[in-house]
Structure 1
Amino acid sequence: MKRIASIMYLKTGMEEEYEKRHDELWPEMKDTLKEHGASNYSIFLEPASGKLFAYLEVNDEDHYNQISATDICQKWWAYMEPLMETNADNSPISTPLTEVFYLE
């Protein structure tokens, strides 16, 4: 199992809308995440900075990374783009984190 963590960046004032959209996550997006091996996926907000900490587990990171090519992922990114700092393709700007400790 590979643990993946990253930081993403929310635009100021978008906290409630971001949470609302994830509370209403489209069923087809949930299915696609699971089909690409995502589990134990959590996102946490640091309200003072607007930084989002994302954590998930995957069995095969290469297979998980293929999610970005799916139509539903592209649609989700476009839907979330007004709320987040994004790249030119609407993917969230994210900073990968390096695991330095794990306690099972």
Structure 2
Amino acid sequence: MPRIGQIMYLHKEFYKEYQKRHAELWPEMKKELKDHGASNYSIFLNEENGELFAYLEVPNVAKYNEIANTDICKKWWAYMKPLMKTNPDNSPVALDLKEVFHLD
């Protein structure tokens, strides 16, 4: 199964709010993530610099990427925009990482 790793950037003053919002992830957003194949999704915070490391597994990367076109994802991005570095469409600025090792 393909694994996705990304770095995103959280504003330091919003660490607690970011964690709170994810602890209260909207049911409809959770459903959309699962419907687009996301599993084993984790986000880690580097508290020293605000970098977030996201990891998830998806059976089909192209299908997963279609989530960006959904209304609920766009609503979530707008909700999260004040907390993090974002693109003009409110999506988080994200650096896609290349997998170089996996221990099976």
Give the TM-score normalised by structure 1.
Answer: 0.99
Structure 1 SS opposite 2:11: coil
Aligned-partner Cα distance in 2 for 1:90–1:42 = 21
Q: Which blocks of at least 5 consecutive residues in structure 2 are unaligned? A: none
What SS does the aligned partner of 2:25 have?
Answer: coil
Determine the structure 1 residue equivalent to 2:64: 64
The one-letter code of the counterpart of 2:47 is P
The runs of 5 or more residues in structure 1 that have no matched partner are none
Aligned to 1:78: 78
Aligned partners of 1:95, 1:67: CA distance in 2, in Å?
Answer: 18
| Cα separation, 1, equivalents of 2:53 and 2:60 | 21
Aligned length: 104
| 1:36-65 superposed Cα distances (whole Å, 9 cap, x missing partner) | 000000000000000000000000000000
Normalised by the size of structure 2, how large is the TM-score?
0.99
Q: What's the offset of the Cα at 1:12? A: 2.0
Task: Note if 1:48 corresponds to 2:48.
Answer: yes
Q: What is the SS of the residue equivalent to 1:43? A: strand
| Structure 2 match to 1:98 | 98
Runs of 4+ off more than 3 Å: none
d(CA) in 2 for partners of 1:56, 1:12: 24
The amino acid across from 1:85 in the alignment is: K
Aligned to 2:12, the other structure's residue is in SS state coil
The reply to whether residue 13 of structure 1 matches residue 13 of structure 2 is yes
Deviations 1:77-104 (CA, angstroms, capped at 9, x unpaired):
0000000000000000000111010001
CA RMSD of aligned residues (A): 0.4
State the alpha-carbon separation in 2 of the partners of residues 11 and 33 from structure 1: 24
